[in-house]
Structures are given as structure tokens and as C-alpha cells.
Structure 1
Amino acid sequence: MNALLSIRAVEKSFGGVHALGPVDIEIGPGERLGLIGPNGSGKTTLINCITGLFRPDHGVIIFKGIDITNEPAYRRARRGLSRSFQIPCPFAGMTVLENLLVPMDYLKKDSRDEIERADEVLQSVSLASRRNDPAEALSQLELRKLELARALVAEPDILIADEAMAGLSEAEIDDILSLLFRLNQAGVTVVMIEHIMHAVMSFSERVICLQTGMIIAEGAPSEVAGNAAVQKVYFGE
């Protein structure tokens, strides 16, 4: 695989608790990767190491051929590595548009008109009609879309969608899935971290399952779903 992102022997501990690794993952350009595992399995720790919120204790992270292991999060975002968060926390009193302009001010990726770019992103996530509404007026589905939009203004090569469908109805889950498929078809590599198994399995080309900070299964969705170790983690003996 010609990797866009390489995670090589990455480990992370907190005090005496070994939370992650060593983990080795290669993610190719244009891929749809699902990352699953029970609570406490190391998913969030891994994503935080990739995106710069944590520094790994050991290992190397390579993005587009560049060692970003010790780079701050904002530089990784400028390079095209974006994430959404599990719990949307917009600037509630600001408009939807203003919520996109704030991160864009820090990205400084090019000289394009920021409002034009923000409007393009709002259109892509079906929030154009809410452009001038305060974020606090949005529904749960719209908040999830705004969270994704704030990641998308970076024009990422990789989008890490962290539980972007949590708390949504089946119809709303389908809406977010459709959005992620469209982004992927437009050339964005998507890493989906999710507990909604049917969504992960229908979206992903490849699935990785973590447990106690280690990879216990990796492969096609059907292979991982049928893996005995994965079934034990989710369903018991």
C-alpha cells in the first residue's frame, strides 16, 4: 500500500496505565477505514496521538511522507489532517457561518476567500439554509453536520470522524453516512470511529478492532465481524 498515513509502533501510557500499543497502521489515499472497539480500547487515545492532542511515548507518525510525530495539532490540520469530535461544542451564540470562520482564521491555508470557502462547505453538508442562524438553534443532526463542517474547512486529505452518528435516529444515521460517502468519492480519505456496527460495516472497506490498546483484528468488514476475538469482545463467551 502506498500509505497516506503511517502509524508505526505507536505507544501511549498515562502514569502506570498503558493505554495504547504498540500499534502499526497504514492508511491509503481514498480509503474508507473503520475503527472499532469497546469503551477503553484505545480508540480515542490513538486518534489523539494521530491528530496532535497527545504525543506518543514511542513510535512514529508519518503523514504524506513527513514525520509529524512531534508537530502541534494546528500544523497537522494545515497539512490536511482533520478530525471531528464525539461531542459537538460549537460557539453557541455565533452563527453557523461564524463557527466555520473561526478555525479558518487559524488554518491560513491559502488566499481563497474564507466566506466563499465556508459557504461551499455549508452547501456540501446541507447547512446552507442555516448559514445565519445561531448554532444553539440547531438540531442534533445539524450539530453533527456542523462539527463535520468545521473539520472540512481545512480541505483535508484525511477526515477522522469520531462517533459522528452517536445519538441519531436511523434516518439521520443514513444522512451522515451519505455525506461521508460523498466526501470519500470526492477524494477524502475517511477514518470512521463508531459504535454503530451496521454503519461501520456498510461504510468501511477495511475495519480495525482495538482492545486494551492493541489491534486484535483487521481486514474486510465481513472478516472482522466473524472474528472470534471480536465477537468475544462485543458479545462475551
Structure 2
Amino acid sequence: MHIDLSNKTALVTGSTHGIGFAIATGLARAGATVIVNGRKPDRVDTALAKLRDIVPGTDARGVAADLGTAEGCKTLVDAEPRVDILVNNLGIFGPKDFYEIPDEEWQQFFDVNIMSGVRLSRAYTPAMVEAGWGRVVFMSSESGLNISDEMLHYGMTKTANLSVSRGLAKRLAGTGVTVNAVLPGPTLSEGVQAMLADKQAESGKSMEEVAAEFVQQARPSSIIQRAAKVEEVANMVIYAVSEQASATTGAALRVDGGVVDSIA
């Protein structure tokens, strides 16, 4: 299967590193014009330079904006008023006991993980509908189905991503605009590596080995019994935004390594 996204402009939120950067790279390789986003200008510039080095000749540009606020979303939309592909990848996570999560942290997770995608989808999909073609992807998580007791606030937002994605797909029925959610499982992103850094230092093992042990302990239902690579998650997103996926909408596409113990 050859995926060609030439003449398509794609925005990936939270794409200066991790899964977001892997998605941006995959889109660039498929020929799309890519808009990179992060909160800090220097990180956006660094990511753009890295992307252009990996995919020579790629058409890429960046916008620094804090999408956890309405003002930040407006800054982005004002700078890039129209896109064909929107990947709502931005998200924050971190383990914390339920009784130690203050109200303001619940609100922060809601604003960043849910409202950024809501606001941008509301801004960008009308033009997609007018054009008769568009792709929206919400990055959810296996944690949206398999709520973990150490990250209730995160799991709550990932479940909400599924609800918004499915509902928006139905709202845009028959328009040529598809909306899907992608559900990664444990993935060896920079964030997860940082979370496991102390364990790696203590064990002397490779990060891949430590991550595999974490998956086997924390997500024993995993079928692949390891953490996914960011590129493996990105591959699903690239397919979901392609022309070949034109009959896939309102779906929850799992790249969870089999963690969710369900046949449907």
C-alpha cells in the first residue's frame, strides 16, 4: 500500500517529540505539508530542523502555542487557518494517587487533553466539510478503556477523547470528513523513558528491557509483552488519515499491543 498525502496540509499538535514527532515524520514521508506545534519556540525550531534532516525537502513549518488555553488555540488557528488533516495528539500524563490530585490538576488535564482537540476540531472541520474531504484523529489511549488506578485523571481524559471522536464522526456523517481515535498502549516515548529512568539506572539494563518489564508488570494482559515504538503508533495514524481509510470513521483504532482484553 502506497500512501500519498501530497497536496495535503497536516497539523499535529504536541509534535516536538515523542509520538507526535513520529506522526509528523510519517506524514512528511507521505508527502504532506506538516505543521509542527509545541509550547516553546526553541523546541518547535529544533523539531523542524530535525524533521527536515530526516525527510530532506519536506515542506514543514511550525507554530509555538500553548493549546491548553483558548488563547493558545486561537494563536494557532490565526497562524494556520486551514488544514486538511488534524491530529489532536497533545496530551499530558503522569502517575499520581487519586487522593493527591487537586482540583486544578484535574482541570489542567481536562483543558490540555480534551479541550485542545475540541477547540481545534471546531475551528478546522467547517472548511474540511466545505471541501468535501478531511481527516481528524484524536489520540486516546488504552487507558481510556482500561482505566488504571494510578492515573485516574489521565484515563478520564482518554475516555472523553473516545466520546468526542465518535460523536463528531456522527455529526459529520456524509461529508467526506472522517474522525477516528487511535489508542496506543505503553509506548517508548521520551515521556515514558523519563518515567522509567530511575529504574533503568538502578538495574543497569537497557531502556527497552526495563520498559518490557514495566509492561509485563503493569499491563500483564499485553500480548506483545513490550512497549511499542513511537513509529508503530504513528503508522496507524498515517493510515487513518490516508485516502485508503475513507470508509473508516467513528472508530477506535487500537495500537495497544493487545493490552485491552477484548475481541471487539
TM-score, length-scaled by structure 1: 0.36
The structure with the greater share of residues assigned to helix is 2
The structure with the greater share of residues assigned to strand is 1
TM-score, length-scaled by structure 2: 0.34
- Larger RCO (CA under 8 A, 6+ residues apart): 1
